[in-house]
Chain A
């Protein structure tokens, strides 16, 4: 069983939901990333999503755009992100790592070369934001061939017939983008999320993670009631921005927020479980 499937199965057996953290690799500098990965795992994160910096992150709000710019100032590229994963894996063999990024850096490296290098580094899943299933067949085949899950996005605007196609191509889990907007947007309607998650469940047995717009313990708990995993990104990256000059404070603040989120999603009343 893959690390991702295994992690979901383990949590499900415990009756708990997963916490997924997102931050950008190399932000605020490349030395911080691996320690930060260990820190958030210690504080309660189940899956690490690592943002691959891109010069033109079209789906990101201002917070993650700035994170990309900080990382790019250190010339953090895809091979260096894979080095970070490899370093993390030397001490952690059980926490899944998912890369989230855009198509062009992967195109520049080449699909096969990327899939091979990512598998070698210990990457478990890949989200390519601007690669819908129609355009992603070749990359997804290369990833699956190396045992890596292509994780696909579903949006509030996704129509039923597309949903089928996405679910058929996806592995690992479905990433439901909880709102119409960019990362970090303030408008999350949990009622809408619940309805859409119900709809997605009819098309797939894969677990469903929900991200975009989850910023604190309350919204995390609300989403945990309906989804299998809660993805928190901009709220963590905002801490990186705030404490970019003080690594110690940054690790502390990240650990505190993660612990808060963990507590919130672990104390929900199970719904229909």
Chain B
């Protein structure tokens, strides 16, 4: 098992990001001038409310009574026994309202939007989980909601499209570029530039310009804080390893962040190897990309030698993104976290294994994390502990699974 490298040994992680949103050389605010004022306004509002007792109380209340937190930390006994190694605990974000971790963030941002007097929210979505989570809070707060979604994702995630519409959101299919998540994000940024006065852009992951990577991380860090408390209560000790899938990186940083200073805890982020890294048909910028600038921040990207962003592939729409949150880029360079890849095929196998052994149908995104746990656990001792972030439930993916099996639903 790899341990944090020497680079990370003396680092105080609380220094990141700096005042302008930089995580080392990553992050920052690379946007067209029109958005600068909106980002300044957002940053000022967030700074003011993140320590405001009323805001925190309202957020906690909603997380408890609307989202259903704390989510359980579940000991997967049969999976553990089948693998014959470390004990595996699942952080059950799949049990949240709307079925994924995404709602932790949308509740937070919607409360902020309300305080800022914004009446319209927009979002980008890949798998549709963030779109549903945004449409959900918009319905609850009576805000107008527009969700941008790549035309290809609209097709493969049709149940979530219908859910968003039921919730009163307008879903706009994006036909530009590669017709997936990155193009949806471009379109959401264009909407924001145009409607910047009344509109709040709820970004769904720890990417985008400052302050989003910081703000979304803070809203998702409830995952790691709870997991730490729950595991200490259950076992009296910290885990040996944390595992989470990485699309933009929000569920992973949410789990990792409260453990960054606990150097003995190994952190594993799992990217999508898709059809295989060597085929080029993957979504693994940390494993196979290089630093560049996209969507407002500097980070690892999948781009060609000309700096054009490459199309991605993963069986899971939520991991199908050519960039990654800037804090992960820093954690990779420092060696504090290790980033690994899981293929479509391995994720599908893990999907079936968890479903059959534990009666839990995981999202295809989360299946990547489970698949890596299945590789790692047998290499560890039985008294060691792994916490896997089960970021979402798999109901949204049953069409994809059926198609893979040649079944017509």
Contacts and interface: CB of A to CB of B under 8 A. Distances in A.
Contacts of B183: 56
Interface stretch (B144-152, B157-165, B289-297, B329-337): B289-297
Given A180-B196, A181-B193, A130 B307 contact: no
A159 B307 contact: no
Given A58-B186, A130-B30, A104 B309 contact: yes
Interface in B281-303: 291-296, 298, 301, 303
Contacts of B298: 107
Contact of B40 (A129, A152, A159): A159
B20 interface: yes
Contacts of B28: 134-135
A56 B33 contact: no
A182 B177 contact: no
Interface in A142-156: 152-156
Contacts of A152: 33
Contact of A155 (B29, B30, B33): B33
Interface residues of A, number: 43
A182 B193 contact: yes
A107 B307 contact: yes
Contact of A131 (B30, B176, B303, B308): B30
A182 B190 contact: yes
A55 interface: yes
Interface SS, B side:
mixed
Given A104-B301, A109-B307, A129 B37 contact: no
Q: Most chain-B Cβ atoms within 10 A of its Cβ — which of A62, A105, A153, A159?
A: A105
A134 B176 CA distance: 30
Contacts of A106: 307
A180 B193 contact: yes
B292 A107 contact: yes
A78 B307 CA distance: 9
A91 interface: no
A108 B292 contact: yes
Contacts of A134: 20, 28-29
Contacts of A105: 306-308
B294 A56 contact: yes
A103 interface: yes
Interface in B15-40: 20, 28-38, 40
Contacts of A109: 307
A72 interface: yes
A57 B309 CA distance: 11
A185 interface: yes
Contacts of A58: 32, 186, 189-190, 295
B27 to A, nearest CB: 10
B228 interface: no
B20 A72 contact: no
A61 interface: yes
Contacts of A182: 190, 193-194
Interface in A178-223: 180-182, 185
Nearest to B196: A180
Contact of A104 (B31, B193, B196, B292): B292
Nearest to B308: A55
A162 interface: yes
Contact of B293 (A55, A104, A159, A162): A104
A65 interface: yes
Contacts of B38: 157
A129 B31 CA distance: 7
B382 to A, nearest CB: 47
A213 B372 CA distance: 51
A38 B142 CA distance: 55
Contacts of A185: 194
A72 B309 CA distance: 11
15 contacts: A55-B177, A55-B308, A56-B182, A58-B32, A58-B186, A59-B34, A77-B307, A104-B293, A107-B307, A129-B32, A130-B30, A132-B33, A135-B30, A155-B33, A155-B37
When A and B form their complex, which 7 residue pairs have the shortest distance between CB atoms, in order from nearest? A108-B307, A105-B307, A77-B306, A157-B37, A155-B34, A103-B293, A181-B194
